[in-house]
Amino acid sequence: MTTEAATIGLTHGASEDTGLGHRGPESKSIVVPYGFWLFVLSDMVLFSALFATYASLAHATDGGPTSNELFDRTLVAIETMALLLSSFTCGLAMIVAKRGNMVWTLGWLLVTGLLGFVFLSIEIYEFASMAAEGAGPQRSAFLSSFFTLVGCHGAHVTAGLLWIGTMMAQVWTKGFKDHIMRRLLCLSVFWHALDIIWVAIFTIVYLIGTLP
């Protein structure tokens, strides 16, 4: 019985591979970013459902304002610049953090947060002026899906801003310990992922939505 099981691979001898690798599980510095990467990818799947909804409803304006009448490309260009630059400074913060430079890490994180705040302020201004014109989320299916998609991204940016503030406080009080560095790495992955989603939003919603 035992020999039969061994031939078809049900048991293994002492010297054989257990499937866990010869060194056992990977270290936390590998496992934690991998797990967070899986979360980010699942977040992208969530956004893909919102994008699909928006694409299906983009022309269901119910006689109300259309995307061509509502969107302002200049504002979107400024938002795009702010988010792209904040992604860049977030990377710079990680570079100096790996070398244990407190002042520059806090500085670049602050710049990242301020650029994110500029982005969020413009978005809130845009939402408020649309709602004031009577183009709120309850106006048409197109606007419901627009506010859901872009608002969900804005909510992520808000969470990212809170996280940046938290990490600045933790770096300041606890220094560059291993677990703080892991959290910083997760934060940078999250922030870069938000910029990737924004690329899809400004292309599909704003640029394609305002084609002549």
Binding site for other proteins (CB under 8 A): 29-30, 34, 37-38, 41-42, 44-45, 48-49, 51-53, 55-56, 62-63, 73, 77, 80-81, 84-85, 87-88, 91-92, 95-96, 98-99, 189, 192-193, 195-196, 199-200, 202-204, 207-208, 210-212
Q: What is the DSSP string of 43-97?
A: HHHHHHHHHHHHHHHTT--TTS--HHHH--HHHHHHHHHHHHHHHHHHHHHHHHH
Please, what is the minimum distance in Å from the beta carbon of residue 130 to other proteins?
A: 20
C-beta closer to other proteins: residue 12 or 100:
100
Q: How far is the CB of 20 from other proteins (least distance, A)?
A: 14
Residue by residue, DSSP assigns 158-172 as HHHHHHHHHHHHHHH
CB 91 within 8 A of CB 191: no
62, burial (CB in 10 Å: exposed 0-12, middle 13-18, buried 19+): exposed
What is the nearest approach in angstroms of other proteins to the Cβ of residue 37? 6
Nearer to other proteins, 4 or 62 (CB): 62
In whole angstroms, the minimum distance from the beta carbon of 11 to other proteins comes to 27
Question: Given the complex with other proteins, which of 45 and 103 has the nearer CB atom?
Answer: 45
Nearer to other proteins, 51 or 147 (CB): 51
- Given the complex with other proteins, which of 148 and 210 has the nearer CB atom? 210
- Nearest one of 80, 70, 81, 56 to 209, comparing CA atoms: 70
Distance of CA 20 to the CA centre of its chain: 31
Residues ≥6 apart with Cβ < 8 Å to 80? 198, 202
Amino acid identity of 131? A
What minimum distance in Å lies between the beta carbon of 10 and other proteins? 27
Q: How far is the CB of 4 from other proteins (least distance, A)?
A: 34
User: Toward other proteins, which CB reaches closer, 130 or 140?
Assistant: 140
